[in-house]
Structure 1
Amino acid sequence: MPISPSSSAQAARENVARRLRELRQDAGLTVTQLAAQCGWHHAKTSRIENAKTPPSARDIRDWCEACRAPGRAEDLIAASRQAETLYTEWRRRVRTGLRQLQESYLELYRSTRVFRVYSPTLVPGLVQTEGYAAALLSTNARLLEVPDDGPEAAAARVERSRIIREPGHRVLLLIEESVLYFQLGSTDAVAGQLGHLLSVGALPTVSLGIIPMATRERALWPQETFHIYDDTLVSVELLSAQVNITQPSEISLYLKAFEQLRSMAVYGAEARALIVKAIDALA
């Protein structure tokens, strides 16, 4: 895709920078004059105005004071904090533990009516078993060099995922067939996970689509893992960070990609046959 998945975050930072620059200009201050009043080097003002350095809350308050607009500070601080949450490194997100990360999604899950999830590498978290999730989360903990509370986090993930059985929610899942063959955890854990897919795929609230490896002339090549919550938020999983996309134009692009990927998938009996084939391959 031509649009970077982190462009929403950058656009939000640039919006804050633009508002600060306009505030300085409206006050009739030069970059050097504002820096002098705030007690920092003028290069810092330029970096903030060009969205190269995110301003701290103290920076914004000082800026607004210098521009004789202290009442603007709190709104700008809130906008700046929101911009920084659009792109969050996993190490920062898991600093309080993997279990707490799982629980942090509860409010979002409860408020979402339609989940759309595409994964080219893993069984989606919404339908993971505890054994499969524990192996995955412990692997992530080792990679990120954080304390490993994978088993506890896996239990929290499974508990959180009960949402798919509740009325008022619809879950559209898309995976590449190769996901069924990745050996994540023990053979028993993988077998249990594949068996669970057979069960959840039959739920009335769940649509499970699998894109066969033999698909010819694909409508779209495999993409990064992404989640679409209703049509208001896209969450993209990168190796180092989570990117939250809120710009309508980018959300529309992901919705379009999801439908193109979905057009290549098989469902129902054909999807179950692919899962059974993967189970047989474990023997």
Structure 2
Amino acid sequence: MAVSASSSAQAARQILADRLGEIRRDAGLTGQQLARACGWHPSKSSRIENAKTSPSADDIRAWCAATGAEDQVDDLVESLRAVEGMFIEWRRMERTGLRRAQEAVLPLFERTRRFRSYSSWLVPGLIQTRAYTSQVLRAVQRRRVPVDDVEEAVQVRMERQHILYEQGRTFAFLVEESVLRTGMGGREVMAGQLDRLRDVGSLPNVSFGVVPMRPDRLCMPVEGFWIYDNAPVNVELVSGYLTITQPREVAEYARRYAELAEMAVYGPRARALISAALSALG
């Protein structure tokens, strides 16, 4: 299940476009008639209905006015905003530095009660050590962020970890075994991080599982993702940050999480894999 920004965001655009097409047809108008009523180029309504051109909020208002569907404006504009917010390029999110990007997710974390996290690349942020987080965010800053506020961003992420100890929240973390073997910052940083992981599973509201490396897997690794309660799902891609809210896609991620969780080991077996990774550091 390789989910890309184009596949998920484009599907959402098409759903909005289909709704606009239905409104036009219900009004008994052709695409060219609608375009004339709105004062547009004759092909604009067709491009919108085929999701080749994204409508603006003003376009939606004009569309509804021309078709007598003013009562649907608010709902359609809200759908448009959801589509526009699905995929955010990293350069947009981080243009003023990493601290604000870390702060942006705080409201979502504060209102979530059930967290499910799967990682095939790095240790999830909520259970990172300060040293590991510093290395991760420094690598990000060097690669794509002109503003150097790494220390402030690290502090925000560390403060966010307080929710691990709050009653009424549950956390399920899954990592690929390769995450234990490939790290950031060298042996000392990784040793501290692995020690942290051995302790995480002892928290009463935390489940920590490791998907072992093996040659006969039935479910291959996928991109890392978080599921917050029953929605949304957040996926970190190379090019940007994807937010998924469509029930069908959210359900697909939940199914994949369950499959990976079934393959994982927990408790003493997970700690044994962590200890083996520690020993391999030398």
Deviation at 1:107, TM superposition (A): 2.1
Q: Which residue in 1 is equivalent to 2:279?
A: 280
Contact 1:219/1:261, CA 8 A, preserved across alignment: no
* Cα 1:260–1:24 shift into 2, 3 Å: closer
Which residue of structure 2 lines up, in the alignment, with residue 181 of structure 1? 181
Q: TM-score normalised to the size of structure 2?
A: 0.89
Residue 32 of structure 1: CA displacement?
2.5
In the alignment, what sits opposite 2:167?
Answer: 167
8 Å CA contact 2:2, 2:222 repeated in 1: no
Deviation per residue, 1:187-244 (Å, 9 max, x gap): 332222222212222211111111222x342131111111112223222221112222
For 1:73 and 1:247, how far apart are their aligned partners in 2? 20
Uncovered stretches (5+) of structure 1, i.e. residues with no partner: none
Q: Secondary structure at the match of 2:242?
A: strand
Match of 1:246 in 2: 245
Matched residue, 1:228: 227
AA aligned to 1:223 is V
Whichever residue aligns with residue 138 of structure 2, its letter is S
Paired with 2:62 and 2:96, the residues of 1 have a C-alpha distance of 31
Cα distance in structure 2, aligned partners of 1:54 and 1:206 = 42
Q: In the TM superposition, what is the alpha-carbon distance from 1:262 to its structure 2 partner?
A: 1.6
Unaligned regions of 5+ residues in structure 2, if any?
none
Asked if the contact 2:232–2:244 (Cα under 8 Å) also holds between the matched residues in 1, the reply is yes
Classify the secondary structure of the residue corresponding to 1:142: helix
For these two proteins, the number of residue pairs brought into alignment is 282
Match in the other structure for 2:53: 53
- Pair 150,15 (structure 1): closer, same or farther in 2 beyond 3 Å: same
Amino acid at match of 1:9: A
Q: Give the CA deviation at 1:113.
A: 2.0
RMSD across aligned positions (CA) = 2.3
- State TM-score, norm by structure 1: 0.89
Moved more, 83-92 or 164-173: 83-92
Report the counterpart of residue 120 of structure 2 in structure 1.
120
Distance 2:172 2:165 in 1: 13
Please show how residues 1-283 of structure 1 align to structure 2 within 5 Å.
1=1, 7-213=7-213, 215-283=214-282
> Aligned partners of 2:34 and 2:146: how far apart in 1?
41
- Structure-1 separation of matches of 2:75 and 2:255: 34
Query: Could you give the per-residue CA deviations for residues 21-80 of structure 1, whole angstroms, max 9, x where no partner exists?
Result: 233334443323333343332222221111122111222223333334444333221110
Q: What CA distance in whole angstroms lies between the structure 1 residues aligned with 2:53 and 2:142?
A: 30
Aligned equivalents of 1:235, 1:44: Cα separation in 2 = 33
Q: Match of 2:185, as an amino acid? A: G
Q: Is the 8 A contact 2:98 2:150 kept in 1?
A: yes
Change (3 A) 1:62 1:138: farther
Asked if the contact 1:5/1:236 (under 8 Å) is kept, the reply is no
- Stretch moving more, 119-128 or 144-153: 144-153
Q: Distance in 1 between matches of 2:146 and 2:39?
A: 38
